[in-house]
Amino acid sequence: MAMERAHAALSGTSHVAAIDLGGTKIMAAIVSPEGRIVNRTKVPTGKKGGVADVIDKMADAVRDAAKAAGISADQLGAVGIGAPGPVTAETGIVGVAVNIPGWRDVPLKDELERRLGIPVVVDNDVRVAVIAEHAAGAGRGACDMVGLWPGTGIGGGIIIDDQIVRGAGNAAGEIGHMTLKPGGAKCHCGGRGHLESLASRTAIVRWIAKQVRAGRKTALSKIVKKGAIGRAKSGELAEAFNQGDTLVLEAVDRATTYLAIGIVNIANALNPQRVVMGGGLVAALGQPLIDQVARKVHGQPMFAATNRLEITKSELGDDAGILGAALIARRAHESGARVSR
Amino acid sequence: MAMERAHAALSGTSHVAAIDLGGTKIMAAIVSPEGRIVNRTKVPTGKKGGVADVIDKMADAVRDAAKAAGISADQLGAVGIGAPGPVTAETGIVGVAVNIPGWRDVPLKDELERRLGIPVVVDNDVRVAVIAEHAAGAGRGACDMVGLWPGTGIGGGIIIDDQIVRGAGNAAGEIGHMTLKPGGAKCHCGGRGHLESLASRTAIVRWIAKQVRAGRKTALSKIVKKGAIGRAKSGELAEAFNQGDTLVLEAVDRATTYLAIGIVNIANALNPQRVVMGGGLVAALGQPLIDQVARKVHGQPMFAATNRLEITKSELGDDAGILGAALIARRAHESGARVSR
């Protein structure tokens, strides 16, 4: 169902390409005029070659994916990119891409346009995923929606009046850096008690590791080899959660309390119809996580903005990012985007 | 200056009326086609006559103000109202007006239209004040701005892309009910650790009273007769603040810490250009309060959304509410609003 809707939203007058740029891999996909993903190509991002090398790989991935789809790259109408970190959508400059060494204020749009000779549009990775959920997934029909993406960190995206909110400096959507516990757990940004430092997968695993050091038991110790719980992945966390491991359940319960407070705070400010939750933690723990968050949100005493708030799980899952990148490419092409220089 | 801009924003093809509905007084004003307030009438809201009596008084206040301005009420193009509590702008129904006994889901628009025979538009009081600041005051030129109104409680209003955000259920803007300290001071809504229960004038005075009970000294004890510090008004708080009273300075310092956290949280979500602060506490303590908040906001480690954030004081002050009510009346009239039944 969600995929059928995605096809409708993605259809147009040309093939377009989408890139999901991550710290470990670059995923490129080609979308046909009918709105179908006709090829996907995945390559490692690589840490050693520097920024230019990463952009070369992105260009190659697009060329390879196009070739596999039976066209050449210059037949593509546009390339859309979801990139980690702050992106200035107008200029296509990516501020800092966490996990890609040396990446700072990279003119990704210009650099990739120079290599491929076709129009490139760039936006933040979570933001494009939220755009995709809004257009074709769990957010459809909600004029005002909030996307919350807990995983390694916690990303967010806000739709008001059917438009993504970018903010005065393209920094909107950083819901993960909402302070919920002044003086609380340290966040990688330097702050304390941020939602991200309390309820991301990283925060959950860190809390469990601390409890284990204090002598508590968990099935995670058996699941994770050599007891390196601090490096537990989503799948391992999910396994212990599904086994009903007491410590893991307690850790998730703590996290959902903060996720619920974060959602209530943003709901009191914006009163959206719907919150869509996606990202690594949601992929791992699934609907039980959503249900737990929803129960806590609806248990709040101040309910003008929350009593009818719908809290739903991402429908596009892992594809949200690549579909969102394809969507911004499609929209750019259909509105006549050209190579900027 | 601000007033000259307000005249431009308020000018049009007829006289309009504005009402600022409060728990203790009803203020009605008539605005000329040139955008000038040509009369103001103030009457006590009264607690005894019930809801119908309050609406009768509003109608009388408009008639009296119109008469004093040399016109009759039926020559008015529209009446705009800023009302306390949640308002459904489309229907003009006011959910609960705190401080007005018995007020619950009152069809204020219909009731006042029936009495006056002219179109009535209603919105939340803080929201209209924020609309006025955005159009003609400290928020002008900021496509994305947030209004924060600390006083007895803490109200808010959010402008995105030059439009006020009302939300799916007309409940947007309740920034005061953002949880910043889970399990913290109780809020009148039943929640705990809300911005309002930590940083409103009420919260400041309550904290000071608690410290006095614990044996600490403050000049407020001398300023407030019989030591009833818990009922200290804004003026008395301001006097002690301006005298440099240690306990009051400490109380304000605590409050501004939470106001800053609240602002940073909303800025990380929406990345507005500007936050405009108004309301009773700002009127009492003035620019030093704003400066203290701004310093704390700009001292946060995660600064993508805050490094260029402007934090300014309301320019329209006490008039923001009545000017905002006049603005929604003017806009309704110029876009052809009619009496709905």
pLDDT digits (tens, 9 = 90+) for B202-240: 999 999 999 999 999 999 988 886 668 888 888 999 999
In angstroms, rounded to a whole number, what is the distance separating the alpha carbons of residues A197 and B321?
Answer: 40
**Contact assignment for A269 to B190 by CB distance below 8 Å:** no
Q: What residues form DSSP beta bridges with A45?
A: none
Q: How many CB pairs under 8 A join A and B?
A: 150
A254 pLDDT exceeds 90? yes
CB–CB of B180 and A175 under 8 A? Answer: no
Strands A163-164 and A120-124: unpaired
Q: Please say if the pLDDT value at position B127 is more than 70.
A: yes
Question: How far apart, in Å, do the first and last CA atoms of chain B sit?
Answer: 40
Mutation pick from B98, B144, B149, B178 vs chain A, by most beta carbons of A within 10 Å, is B178
Higher pLDDT, B213 or B145: B145
Contact between chains at A178 and B257 (C-beta distance less than 8 A) = no
Q: How far A117 CA sits from the closest chain B CA (Å)?
A: 32
Strand segments, DSSP code E, in A14-119 are 15-21, 25-31, 37-44, 76-83, 87-88, 93-96, 104-107
For residue A194, which residues of chain B lie inside 8 Å, CB to CB? 302
Which percentage of chain B shows pLDDT scores above 90?
79
* Average pLDDT value for residue range B176-187: 95
Residue A226, pLDDT above cutoff 80: no
Residue A258 · residue A128 · CB < 8 Å: no
Contact B168 A272 (CB under 8 A): yes
| pLDDT of A300 over the 90 cut | no
Is pLDDT at A112 greater than 80 in this prediction? Answer: yes
Q: What is the mean pLDDT of residues A129-138?
A: 96
Chain A nearest C-alpha distance from B221 (Å)? 31
Mean pLDDT throughout A99-103? Answer: 83
Residue B172 phi/psi, 5° resolution? -65, 155
Mean pLDDT for A196-224 is 93
What interface predicted TM-score (ipTM) does this complex get?
Answer: 0.93
- Mean pLDDT value across residues A154-158: 96
Q: Which residues of B touch A158 (CB under 8 A)?
A: 269-270
What tokens appear for B167 in the block?
């939300």
Closest CA of chain A from B202, distance in Å: 18
> Which residues in chain A touch residue B159, judged by CB atoms under 8 angstroms apart?
none
List b or e across B212-240, with b for residues whose CB sees 16 or more CB atoms inside 10 angstroms.
beeeeebbbbebbeeeebeebebebbbbb
Which chain A residue has its CA at the smallest distance from B188's CA?
A302
